[in-house]
Structure 1
């Protein structure tokens, strides 16, 4: 009959030992420990010296994930913005027209390559790149700047080249946070604007009846009165307006003082309060997203480590199976 003996690993605290069927010699298998169990001994590389070619998506992810990638893009954006400013100096532009043309083409090529790399980094789901509004903004700006600089699209191309400078906002996280906060504050600001409009309407009608005869240019009609009150909101020239109105009625000072206190010192500060409130909320959301992303990355790293150890163990078992699993012929 056949008698099959196998080496059975024993779970011990150190490297596992296996006893041979007859010789009693000990074999060793790679130590497999939990990622959190103190000191971790990595198993040997089952394929030493082996290298696998990176896919385009993996190469793009590694390239765009390099710490120097984003600062380099930001430096290119700033340099491009400086070049656009130098182009406004006509003598300099005429003297170095060829240089400016070459630099513009180089910046354009660099920005196109950047967008292509960022899209390629999403692999089989390139449309996921457009889920972020800032990515869509960058894509549209770079795409519009490819329009020819002459003909029907000349003005659009010039505007797109100018908008490339605004990509500084999308490249700096702090600026993205501020702009995003302002956009999120628009719905809340609508109620504040409604209150300001109501105040301007009420004070405009009242000012027309009080000062319309003495100062028809500023208070002769409701649109003129609204324009005057909007000027007062900026605290520009309100003293002269109050003195002119004082010749018509002695309560002009009360009219202007009450409007400035209510509309300027109270309502305008509501705008600031709304923006600050949304800014704090955006910071909390950003911190929560960063914590979640960090935890996800740590989990993926642990899973990759466990997968690597399991692959090493499988390779070790396959390598020892032919030597340890042969039949032992003998008579019982």
Structure 2
């Protein structure tokens, strides 16, 4: 295995010797060429109410407040346990309603700041909107639909709020992107492992395949060979 890896690296280094740039420099240039910069909508009229609202929703204090709300919501989700009292369940339900209201207010403020069309152009905003809509549906079903409908899967929207941390945390997004990019090499790793298993299977058949097993001592023969 080590020989295969070393040979592969040597062949790659020989190919890179033909270029004036190093391997990392070429990778950096290729990434810069293929990168698509993100655009953020900004109202043109800086004296309008929409522009002041936009300044508010893109400000660091607002972002930190949302992150704190997500962290507190995570703590509330972890506080649920089996066979809890009705009073305790009601308190957790109240907290869930409060967080749902706050996240709904966040969506409303961003729609007012960006506009409907610009708001839904961002995939993260669409995810936030779907999460809020699912959470509101969960509350309505829990309050009014217990007798005739069972949509317990809607509670997954409460846990989906944790994914919002990926939007707020730059370092977390880098780790997630690195994890996703590593899947590109996963088929080659699986192929290498399968090849090793196949080689060892052939060696095992050649070494132990011709050993006879006595009929009266079959159990010990398996452990001996």
Superposition TM-score, scaled by structure 2 size: 0.58
Contact 1:74 1:168 (8 Å CA) reproduced: yes
> TM-score, structure 1 length as denominator?
0.42
8 Å contact from structure 1 (residues 144, 157) kept in 2: yes
2:27 aligns to what? Answer: none
CA deviation map 1:53-73 (0-9, x unaligned): 633x32431221222111111
Match of 1:107 in 2: 99
Does structure 2 conserve the Cα–Cα contact (< 8 Å) formed by 1:119 and 1:129? Answer: no
In 1, the alpha carbon distance for the partners of 2:164 and 2:94 equals 21
Q: CA deviation at 1:137?
A: 3.6
Which secondary structure does the structure 2 equivalent of 1:100 belong to?
A: helix
Counting matched residue pairs gives 163
Q: Structure 2: how far apart are the matches of 1:60 and 1:101?
A: 31
Once residues 108 and 196 of structure 2 are traced to their aligned partners in structure 1, the CA distance between those partners, rounded to angstroms, is 51
2:135 maps to 1:145: yes
Q: Whole-Å Cα distance in 2 between the matches of residues 198 and 58 of structure 1?
A: 61
1:160 aligns with 2:157: yes
Runs of 5+ consecutive residues of structure 2 not aligned to the other structure: 1-45, 212-220
Q: Which residue of structure 2 lines up, in the alignment, with residue 33 of structure 1?
A: none
Q: Is residue 120 from structure 1 mapped to residue 103 from structure 2 by the alignment?
A: no
- Please tell me whether residue 61 in structure 1 is matched to residue 38 in structure 2: no
Q: Does 1:247 align with 2:209?
A: no
Please show how residues 88-103 of structure 1 align to structure 2 within 5 Å: 88=81, 90-91=83-84, 93-103=85-95
Query: What SS does the aligned partner of 1:145 have?
Result: helix
Q: In structure 2, what is the Cα distance between the partners aligned to 1:189 and 1:110?
A: 41
More helix by share: 2
Q: How does 1:167-246 map to 2 (within 5 A)?
A: 167-204=164-201, 206-207=203-204
Offset of residue 89 of structure 1: 5.0
Structure 1: segments with no counterpart, 5+ residues: 1-51, 215-243, 249-332
SS in 2 for 1:87: coil
Superposed displacement of residue 201, structure 1: 4.0
Partner SS state of residue 114, structure 2: coil
* Higher-Rg member (1/2): 1
Does residue 81 of the first structure (1) align with residue 74 of the second (2)? Answer: yes
Question: Relative CO higher for 1 or 2, CA cutoff 8 Å, sep ≥ 6?
Answer: 1
Task: Give 1:208 shift.
Answer: 6.7
Q: Deviations over 1:190-211 (max 9, x none)?
A: 3223322333344356557767
Structure 1, residues 283-329: CA drift from partner, whole Å, max 9, x if none? xxxxxxxxxxxxxxxxxxxxxxxxxxxxxxxxxxxxxxxxxxxxxxx
Q: Deviations over 1:157-211 (max 9, x none)?
A: 1222122233323321110111122123322333223322333344356557767
Task: Give, in whole Å, the separation in 2 of the partners of 1:62 and 1:159.
Answer: 32
